[in-house]
Structure 1
Amino acid sequence: MSRRIVCLRHGQTLWNVEQRFQGHSDIPLDETGVAQAARAASLLASLRPTMIVSSDLQRANDTALALGRLISLDVAVDKDFRERGGGQWEGLTRQEIAARWPEEYAAWEAPDGEPVTDVAARVATAMRRWAARVDDDGLLVVVSHGAALRLGICELLGLPEQLWPALGGLGNCSWSVLQEGRRGWRLLEHNAGTLPEPVHSDDKPEAEA
C-alpha cells in the first residue's frame, strides 16, 4: 500500500443551484447539501481515513465535519484549500457574467480574480504538505471546492496547462482518489460517488460537460 488522497468536493449550496460564482464567499450548505455530506461520510468512512483537512469556508468545513464526527477524527483547516477567488464575479450568475464580461467569460478569467495557475499551485502544494504528514499506507481526505480540486489535481499529476480542460468537473459531494507511487501521483478515480448528473461549480464551463 501507499498513501492516498481522497479529494472530496463540498455539498450543494443555494448558490450552486442558482449557478452563482461562489469563490471566497462563505456560503453555507443547503438542506440537500447537508444530506449529501452525510451520505458521502457514510461511504468514505469505510475507507478508514487517517487524516481530514478542509478549506476554511463553511460549505467545505461542514462537509468535512460530517465525516469527522462519524469516524471520531478531528478536522484540520487550511485556507490554501479555498476555492478560486472570483473578484467582481462572486455572487453573480453565469448569465450576468457573460453579459458584462463576454471576453473574460469566454476565457473564464475574472478581471480581478485569481489566475488558474496560482490556484493550481497553492492547492497542489497544500496537498503535498498534508500528504507528507500521513503514514505510508494512510488515507488523507481533502475537503475543498470544484475548481480548486480539479486544478490542484492537474498540477499534482504534472499535467501541462493545455491539458487541464481534459479533466472534468466534480459534482457536489463527489470525490477523486489519488495514489502516490514510485513515479509520483496517479489518478485512480474521478468524480466518483454519484451517477452522472449536472455539475454546478465555479469551474470553467467546459470542465463540467
Structure 2
Amino acid sequence: MTLITLVRHGQTDWNLERRIQGSTDIPLNETGRADALAAAELLSAGTHHAVYASPLVRAQETAGIIAGHLGLDAPLTTRDMREREFGEGEGMLVADYLERFTDWHSAPPGAEALEMVRDRALGALDVIARTSRRRSTPAAESIIVVTHGGVIRSLLNHASGGTLPREGDILRNGSLHRFEAAPGLLRLLEPIPA
C-alpha cells in the first residue's frame, strides 16, 4: 500500500484572473509560492518519502518548494499528472468558457475528455504505487504528488463513485487530498484541512 497526497499547485496570475491554463505553462506568482510553503508546513506533520510533479512549471516549482522544506530529493516528473488540455478553451476566462461551452464536461475542439484525464492520471498513480512497493519498507510509503485542479477533481470523482467534488466545491491552490493507492486501486482517505 502507498499513501499518496495530491497537492494542487500554488496560485498563478492566470488563477487570479480566473483564466483557463490547461497545458499552458504559467509560473507561480508570489501568492503561489506562499501557497506551496503553506502546503509544505501542513505536510511537515508527517513522514514522506518522495515528491512527484506534473511537468508544468507551476507544479514543478510548487513541488520544489515542498521537497526543499521537507528535506526530500528533487521532485520526479510524471507527465501523466499534467492538467487537462483545453484545446480552444486554453487562455479563456472561466466565465467566457462556460458561456461558450456550457459546462466542464463538454470538450471544446482540441480538448481532452475528462475520462482521458482520469485514465492517464490513474495510470500514473499505478506506476508510482508499483515503484513504491518495490522499494518500500514494511511500513507504507508516503508519496506527495503535485498536480492540477482538473486532475484532482477527476480522481476525487473516481474514488468517491461520483459524489465528490460537490457542485460548487473549490479546490484551492495548495490544497491537499490523501489517498491510499495500490495497482488498480485508489481510495480517498481524507482531504487535509487548511
The alignment's TM-score, normalised by the length of structure 2, stands at 0.86
Aligned match of 2:79: 79
Q: Distance in 2 between matches of 1:154 and 1:43?
A: 24
Q: Deviations over 1:31-82 (max 9, x none)?
A: 1011111111122122111111000001111010011112232210011110
1:14 aligns to 2:13 (yes or no): yes
| Amino acid of the structure 1 residue aligned with 2:173 | N
Q: Distance in 1 between matches of 2:82 and 2:42?
A: 24
Q: Distance in 2 between matches of 1:151 and 1:97?
A: 19
Aligned identity (percent) is: 32
Q: Distance in 1 between matches of 2:52 and 2:125?
A: 10
1:46 aligns to 2:49 (yes or no): no
Q: SS of 1:148's equivalent?
A: helix
| Amino acid of the structure 1 residue aligned with 2:108 | A
**Aligned 8 A contact 2:18 2:94 in 1:** yes
Q: SS of 1:117's equivalent?
A: helix
Q: Distance in 1 between matches of 2:119 and 2:79?
A: 14
Q: What is the Cα deviation at residue 128 of structure 1?
A: 1.4
Q: Where does the alignment leave 5 or more consecutive residues of structure 1 unmatched?
A: 195-209
| Amino acid of the structure 1 residue aligned with 2:96 | E
Q: What is the Cα deviation at residue 163 of structure 1?
A: 4.8
Match of 2:124 among 121, 126, 140: 126
- The list of structure 1 runs, each at least 4 consecutive aligned residues, that deviate by more than 6 angstroms after superposition, is none
The alignment yields a C-alpha RMSD, in angstroms, of 2.2
Aligned match of 2:175: 174
Q: SS of 1:154's equivalent?
A: helix
**Aligned 8 A contact 2:86 2:112 in 1:** yes
Q: Distance in 2 between matches of 1:141 and 1:123?
A: 14
**Aligned 8 A contact 1:179 1:188 in 2:** yes
Matched length: 185
| Amino acid of the structure 1 residue aligned with 2:174 | C
Q: Where does the alignment leave 5 or more consecutive residues of structure 2 unmatched?
A: none
Q: What is the Cα deviation at residue 166 of structure 1?
A: 4.0
Aligned match of 2:143: 140
Q: SS of 1:133's equivalent?
A: helix
Aligned match of 2:153: 150
The alpha-carbon distance between structure 1 residues 184 and 90, as it changes in their structure 2 partners (threshold 3 A), is closer
Q: What is the Cα deviation at residue 85 of structure 1?
A: 0.4
**Aligned 8 A contact 2:126 2:181 in 1:** no
Q: Distance in 2 between matches of 1:169 and 1:124?
A: 22
Q: SS of 1:95's equivalent?
A: helix
The alignment's TM-score, normalised by the length of structure 1, stands at 0.80
1:117 aligns to 2:131 (yes or no): no
Q: SS of 2:45's equivalent?
A: helix
Q: Distance in 2 between matches of 1:153 and 1:126?
A: 15
Q: Deviations over 1:89-140 (max 9, x none)?
A: 11110232244x2xx2234432321100000000011011102222251101
